[in-house]
Amino acid sequence: MSAQTEQRVERVLVTPGDKLAEGDYKILTPTTAYRVGTSYYSSIVGLLELNPQEKSLKVIPLKGSYYPRVGDVVIGIVSDVGLTNWELDIRAPFPGILYAVDYLGRAINPSKENLKDFLDVGDVIVGKVEVFDRTRNPVISTKGKEFGKVVDGALVEISPVKIPRLIGKKGSMQSLIESETNCKLIIGNNGRVLVLCEDKRYEEIVVRAIRKIDVEAHISGLTDRVKEFILVEKVKKGLVGNEERKA
């Protein structure tokens, strides 16, 4: 890459089998790029970010499914109620297991209590992948004050590979949306986003902004466009226009 592009990292569209670089690089995304000898190849349709200074490269996928990892925040929907645990749909190849001991914080007696009374099919849960070791299904934990059953808000589903874009560099995109609309986003790594707004009029704007990010994630200048989009929508709904006209 030439010296002119030093400031901004250039993104290049690559397809499986494309040669990315030669030499000694560090692969930051191990499943989407691989090396043979001293050559690096892409394994996916994605955007290449090559950093010659730090000798690192990554390929950002444009499409893909969710595969759980320990520590991921996931938003699951209860799909089955067992005797001592719930099964959650977490948009992964496996169901997430939520143990009653974990959710209720105490042991339960299956002969006296029915788990249906606490969580039923269709309920939405925010949790964290606690254990996932490739031999058993991922175990979801709801310990922590931000986790638990969802009772309010709007749930948006987007492609899981677009989640890093929705969060942004050091959370920039997320904090932009949150500060512009006074809403709170709970972002699950499995591609589900929970939008919590005190003012319900903002909810629709945020949901549409998230959908916009899902569709346009691979086009540069996204942050500015999202900012403009939110502003335009706010004016349309009469949420900011009046004050600005007064000023």
Partner 1 sequence: MKREKPKLVSEDGVRHDGRRLDELRPVKMEVGVLSNASGSAYVEFGKTRVIAAVYGPREPPQRYMVLPHRAVLRCRYHMAPFSTDERKNPAPSRREIEISKVIREALEPVVMSEAFPRTSIDVFIEVISADGGTRTAALNAASLALADAGVPMRDLVAAVAVGKVDGYLVLDIDQVEDNYGEADMPVAMAPSLNMVTLLQLNGVLSPQEFSQALNLALKGVNEVYKLQKETLRNKYLVRVE
Q: How far is the CB of 126 from partner 1 (least distance, A)?
A: 23
Task: Tell me which of 8, 23, 24, 36 binds partner 1, using CB under 8 A.
Answer: 36
Between CA 221 and CA 224, with CA 223 as vertex, the angle to 5 degrees is 70
What is the number of other CB atoms lying within 10 angstroms of the CB of residue 227?
15
Task: Tell me which of 10, 11, 28, 45 binds partner 1, using CB under 8 A.
Answer: 45
Nearest by Cα to 157 from 91, 225, 70, 223: 91
- Binding of partner 1 by 37 (CB under 8 A): no
Nearest by Cα to 187 from 64, 66, 78, 100: 66
Nearest by Cα to 66 from 84, 35, 90: 90
Asked if 68 contacts 92 with a C-beta cutoff of 8 angstroms, the reply is yes
- Binding of partner 1 by 135 (CB under 8 A): yes
- Binding of partner 1 by 84 (CB under 8 A): no
Task: Tell me which of 31, 56, 172, 175 binds partner 1, using CB under 8 A.
Answer: 31
143 phi, psi to nearest 5 deg: -75, 130
For CA atoms 169, 171, 177, 180, the dihedral sign is: negative
- Binding of partner 1 by 134 (CB under 8 A): yes
- Binding of partner 1 by 34 (CB under 8 A): yes
- Binding of partner 1 by 151 (CB under 8 A): no
- Binding of partner 1 by 94 (CB under 8 A): yes
- Binding of partner 1 by 102 (CB under 8 A): no
DSSP SS3 for 77? strand
- Binding of partner 1 by 218 (CB under 8 A): yes
Q: How far is the CB of 232 from partner 1 (least distance, A)?
A: 21
Please give the residue ranges that form the binding site for partner 1 (CB under 8 A).
Answer: 13, 15-19, 31-32, 34, 36, 41, 43-45, 61-65, 67, 93-95, 134-135, 161, 218-219
